[in-house]
Amino acid sequence: MSENLLIHIVDDDPAVRDSLAFVLGTAGWEVRSYQSGAELLQRVGALEPGLIITDVRMPGMSGLELIEKLKDLEVRHPVIVLTGHADVSMAVEAMKSGVVDFLEKPFDDEALLAAVKAGVATRAGPGKDQSAREEVLARLTQLTARERDVFDAVATGESNKSAAQLLGISPRTVEIYRANVMEKMQARSLADLVRMSLLAAD
């Protein structure tokens, strides 16, 4: 689809690999699939330019371990992680390690394609980090004290239930605050909130 870039898919589930390959291939991307992080690392010296999509939870080498090994080997490919609902805190840790995005399963085709397009765009460099940070800080000032508490909890990977326990309020109240936070921060996803939190902390 773009500059001969290849999307490298790492997942131990063949059904997930096939599904991702189909969606991305239909959209015009070239794809190569790997059943494990170890298999990808075997090709690391000849890894075609592009982007890596990896499941966060896999037998043998986890997605987080793969990301760390890629960093050690100075592989500069943008990485998107796939995560189950229970693994959001792992995905947050992955973003702290430089992952460009994460998608919670199940995700729709549009979310996948948008994440890939945005991820590939990061190959040109961060560029506008300072202005983006100022924008995030300005949006944060619009949050009430309680909304800021919920933002901080959710952006560190806390579920609505655990955030509720942490803040001494009901999960339903957390949901309401979370919806307000998403709107005020102009976030489309949890990954957006995490990215904003990391930017604000820089």
Residue 16 scores a pLDDT above 60: yes
pLDDT: which is higher, 123 or 142: 142
**Domain extents in the chain:** 6-124, 129-201
pLDDT at site 96: 80
Summarised one tens digit per residue, pLDDT across range 141-193 is 999 999 999 999 999 889 899 999 999 999 999 999 999 999 999 998 888 89
Pick the CATH number of 6-124 from 3.40.50.2300, 3.40.1000.10, 3.30.70.270, 3.40.190.10: 3.40.50.2300
pLDDT at site 106: 84
Cis preceding linkage at 106, omega within 30: yes
CA distances from 176 to 153, 160, 161, 169, 185 (A): 14, 10, 13, 11, 14
Q: CATH fold of 129-201, please?
A: Arc Repressor Mutant, subunit A (1.10.10)
Question: pLDDT band at 198, cuts 50/70/90?
Answer: confident
Mean pLDDT on 78-105? 83
Decide whether 6-124 matches 129-201 in CATH topology: no
Query: Among 110-124, 126-140, 156-170, 179-193, whose mean pLDDT is lowest?
Result: 126-140
pLDDT at site 129: 62
Give the span between the Cα atoms of 192 and 107, in whole angstroms. Answer: 15
The strand pairing partners of 10, in sequence order, are 34, 54
pLDDT at site 44: 86
Summarised one tens digit per residue, pLDDT across range 38-80 is 999 999 888 888 999 999 889 999 998 999 999 899 898 999 9
